[in-house]
Structures are given as C-alpha cells and as structure tokens.
Amino acid sequence: MLVIRSLLFNLLFYLNLVVQILAALPTLLMPRRAIVAVATFWARTNLWLLRAVCGINAEFRGLGKIPDGPLLVSSKHQSLWETFALLLILPDAAYIMKRELMWIPFFGWYAWKAGMIPIDRSRGSQALADMNACARRELARNRPIIIFPEGTRRPPGAEPSYKYGVARLYSQMGVPCLPIALNSGLFWPRRSMRRYPGTIVVEVLDPIPPGLGQEAFFQRLQREVEDATARLVAEGRRERTHHRASDASLASSS
C-alpha cells in the first residue's frame, strides 16, 4: 500500500503542478502578489494531497514567534516539502535559490515574477555581494528572506554542513534572523519516490536579534537549529516506528 499511495501521490503532485503552471500564466502580466497567491494555493493543495493520499499531516509550532516586519529566515532543509510548505506561514517570502533554477521554463519565469533571489555560486564573493543587494531590495518591501544555510537538502541525522554566507547575510542586513527546524526528510525523503505516513513538524524557534558578531551568530544558529531538529527527528522516528508496528499488526491479523 505504501508504494501504491506514493505512486498515486507523485502522479497527482505533478499533474497538479502542470495545471497550476498553466493556470498561472496570466499572472506574468499582473502584480507580483498574483503569482504569490497562486504559489500559496499550490502549497495548500499539495498538503491536502499528502494528507488524503499518503496519510502525511503537517504541524506548525511556534508561529507566534514570527516577528512583524522584514526578517531573515534560516531553515533546515531535508526535503522538497519545505520549499513550498513554508509559504503557508511566510506567504510573501523571497527565497534565495540557485541561479540555474531561474533558467527552467515556466518555473524560472514565475520565480522572477515573484521576486526570488538568484545566486550564482560560481562568482564567489561577487555572488554574495549580488545576493546582499537583492536581499536589501526585498527587505525594503517588508518581505521575509528565506535561506537554506546548508545550500542543499541533507538527510535526517546527517552531519550539518552550514555555509558561512548566512552569517555574512545576517551581519549585512541588520534584521532579526528566524531559525526554523523540521523533520520533513523522514516522511518525504530526498531522492526517493516513497512517501511515509506520519506528521511533518515545523518548529519556529526564538528569533535571533540583529547585532551579534558573525561567528557568534553562526555558532548559535547552527546549535539551536540542529538541537531542535534532532528532537523533531527523534519524535518523527518514534511515530514511524508506531506506524510500522500498526501495519505489521494489521497484516498479521488479515
């Protein structure tokens, strides 16, 4: 059943994606908030499909800790899931993403229209300067900036691999940093077509105020996000174990 549900979800996920991409074409001629609204609706439908087809729920904790005004959001990255799900709690966010993603037909057009921030990693220090300039522009619009400080998806339990660019961005922007921990990789693993039932938990941690030194901030961010993520992963593993035991019990009784 797990394989069948996963295949069905993947089929519906990509079908939904195609439908939303085509439906969003008029937004290229509309104000930016139109494509943001479409992307948020797409995120909601994805969470509904996960719940209805795969038995995967989502729980968002600590939402009251999100401050008003511009801020830098530094999130753990384990899965494709958070690239859309975070729009539900930060609906007008600007993501920092690889420049190559902007070249993808349709997706790149919409990312450009939505005011996402591309970064060309091959340009070294100049890439950071360009990223900072774009981030300042979006912060001036009162938007949160989302960065995945490890730069790519990391499986649950893997050694952290934070890039120092997040500390440089924090020191340059002068706004609070909002750390986010999660355990999405247990239920939507990277490089896998399988989707495991359970509850994906996103936990918003206490904002880190501006003004810390780069090294102090970098160490604090990594410590707080990794400690919270380890706790959420342990919680998720217990839930997955419970689901496996329940499935085994049902199979033996039938």
> Which pLDDT value is given to residue 99?
87
Delimit the domains of the chain by residue range: 56-253
Yes or no: say if 210 and 139 are a contact pair by the CB < 8 Å rule: no
Distances (CA, A) of 53 to 10, 16, 197: 10, 14, 9
CA pair distance 161, 163, nearest whole angstrom = 7
> Which pLDDT value is given to residue 253?
58
> Which pLDDT value is given to residue 249?
54
* Residue ranges of the chain with per-residue pLDDT less than 70: 124, 245-254
> Which pLDDT value is given to residue 227?
98
> Which pLDDT value is given to residue 128?
80
Tell me the backbone φ, ψ of residue 201, rounded to 5 degrees: -110, 130
> What count of other Cβ atoms lies within 10 Å of the Cβ of residue 124?
9
> Which pLDDT value is given to residue 129?
84
CA pair distance 34, 114, nearest whole angstrom = 9
SS3 128: helix
Tell me which residue of 96, 107, 85 sits closest to 28, measured CA to CA: 107
